[in-house]
Chains A and B, each alone.
Chain A
Amino acid sequence: MHTFRHGSSARWMRIGAIALIALVLSVAVYGNAEAHDQGTLKLVSKTFRAGDSLVVLGTKFTPDDEVTLLLLGVSGRITLAKVPTDTAGGFRRVLLVPASVAPGQYRLLAEAIDGDVVAGLDVMVTAAAAPMAPMAGVANMEGMPGHEGMATDPTGEALSIDRERSTAVTATAILLIIACAAAGAMFLRGSHANPLEEQS
């Protein structure tokens, strides 16, 4: 430990200095990449059908600039529109989602002119002319509790969901709990009954 400190402290200081410079440079590069204002995208609903029109609201973008709105997902990259921002950095635009877009998860992205992503939102595209399927991909969920009045007022209140109960599952759980408690008691009692042995 002693030799280590004396013998190589200068080397460690050099390595430290280089690491520090590298860190400062990488932060600078990162900072440079952040030259655009990060905006916010808002949609009335994040689930929409292919072929539907879509109202997109943008705020907090670089004022008097232009952003490209696009969808990125299973259908690849689909450019929707180039939209100018106003003097406050906002915009409101009605877009048409091509009917050819395959259903699935997408990112709705806003890109600045140089291709930097300045905003993004997860959206779901459902099949064209199909009924709205907010629960696409999960079978057997029609009329599932918890979906009534969804996306109204935000609340942290626990949903009162009709929990599916099964006598078999509950009984098995209770049996397992009793077995665990009994095993625990047995081990604990055993170690009392068998006073600590001395190692030779």
Chain B
Amino acid sequence: MTEARSTATRGGAIAERLALSALDYPTPARANRWDFMLGALTLVSLVVLALTGIVLTQYYNPAPLSAHDSLLYIISNSPAVSLLRDTHVWAASAALALVFAHLAAVFWRRGFRNPREGMWWSGVVLLILLFGLAFTGTALRADQEAVEALAHAAAGAKFAGAAGALLSADFTPSTPLLSRLYAFHVSTLPLALIALMALHLWLVRNLGVSAVGPERVRFTSHLRLISGAGFVLVAIVASAALIWPAALSAPGVVGFEVTKPSWPFLWVYAAENLFGMAGMLIAPAVLFGFLALVPITDRHDGRAAQITRVLGAVLFVLMIGAIIYAAIAPGQSHLGMDMGGV
């Protein structure tokens, strides 16, 4: 209590009123290393996404025939919003790259073991939500890649039967599919993400991270490091946006397959090259099925744990390999659509 008061006094009156001394709890010194900062850096990317996204909602028009035009308008008439859009797109890539790095680091250090299974499973759902956001975001562009992404999703949704009805253009005659995807992108998915993130961070705070070693440091020192790395990340993302603006292709024409998806989806595309349409369901089922099982199969040291670790490493390498392969392989039609002379 005396110590808390002294810290608050050190931070000043505002810090005292905001109860910032609550951040001064002890954490393992080992948690100050980079592999324990990846989750927080993912969070920083998400904050950038939220802030830039809020501005974009005021300029983007989610009506099917106006969506592409509103993006053209932003790019060609509004330099500030255009730069925010570029930052939004780059921050999305950063969030996905960082969340995978976070997942890989946690997997390797076995941070999911008792009592942290809930952290892992809430993380798996967060990953699914992030993919959902990336997918709906792509569809909002209403360009050729967007139309093809939707055609793939609709085909997958048909496989999924009743569960896929939400991705069907005929779900309701009152609202077009694009407008419903917009609602998912700006409301349903972010709300679910915030709820899940609250659970994830609650568990991190109350169960602690798995860093070992007797040495303890103040959490504020960790916060300082994360803030430093976070600012550098924002600078990198914004610089990338300034140098390489986000692309937009011509308005989508339905019934053609002439594009490849953006990099986070290329491993699924590779699976479609190999297994046809079924690959679109097989690849995510294998990845998420494996991730869901990890805390069950790797509970204690032993054979099952070893197999899980090897399988995880193989899957990781396969995924990176599949992304590279799909990026360089010639385009293929998976829905039996016209390839536009390709």
Contacts and interface: CB of A to CB of B under 8 A. Distances in A.
Interface in A26-44: 26-27, 30-31, 38
Contact of A176 (B72, B230, B238, B251): B238
A70 to B, nearest CB: 9
Given A154-B340, A173-B242, A186 B66 contact: no
A169 B79 contact: yes
Interface stretch (A50-58, A85-93, A142-150): A142-150
Contacts of B251: 150-151
A7 interface: no
Given A27-B162, A153-B340, A191 B221 contact: yes
A184 interface: yes
B319 interface: no
Given A122-B176, A188-B225, A198-B217, A156 B76 contact: no
A154 B231 CA distance: 40
Interface centre among A30, A123, A183 (most CB of B within 10 A): A183
B229 A184 contact: yes
B162 A155 contact: no
The 7 closest A-B pairs by CB, nearest first: A156-B259, A187-B228, A184-B231, A188-B228, A158-B247, A184-B232, A154-B253
Given A138-B73, A144-B76, A156-B145, A197 B239 contact: no
Contact of B231 (A136, A151, A181): A181
A72 interface: yes
A190 B228 CA distance: 9
Nearest to B253: A154
A119 interface: yes
Given A163-B76, A164-B78, A199-B218, A184 B238 contact: no
Contacts of A185: 228, 232
A47 interface: yes
A60 interface: no
Interface stretch (B166-174, B201-209, B271-279, B298-306): B166-174
Given A105-B64, A164-B78, 10 more contacts: A137-B63, A154-B253, A170-B79, A184-B228, A187-B224, A187-B225, A196-B29, A196-B32, A196-B221, A199-B218
Contacts of A120: 169-170, 173
B82 interface: yes
A46 interface: yes
Interface string B76-104: 11111011000000000000000000000
A188 to B, nearest CB: 3
A138 B230 CA distance: 37
A155 B235 contact: no
Contacts of B162: 26-27, 30-31
B177 to A, nearest CB: 8
Interface string A65-90: 00000001000000000000000000
Given A141-B72, A151-B253, A154-B250, A187 B227 contact: yes
A138 B26 contact: no
Contacts of A200: 3
B247 A199 contact: no
B258 interface: yes
A72 B260 CA distance: 34
B11 to A, nearest CB: 15
A109 B172 CA distance: 11
A144 B231 CA distance: 36
Contact of B65 (A123, A140, A159, A166): A123
A177 interface: yes
A185 B245 CA distance: 26
B229 A170 contact: no
A165 interface: yes
A185 to B, nearest CB: 7
B234 interface: yes
A105 to B, nearest CB: 5
Contacts of B63: 105, 122, 137
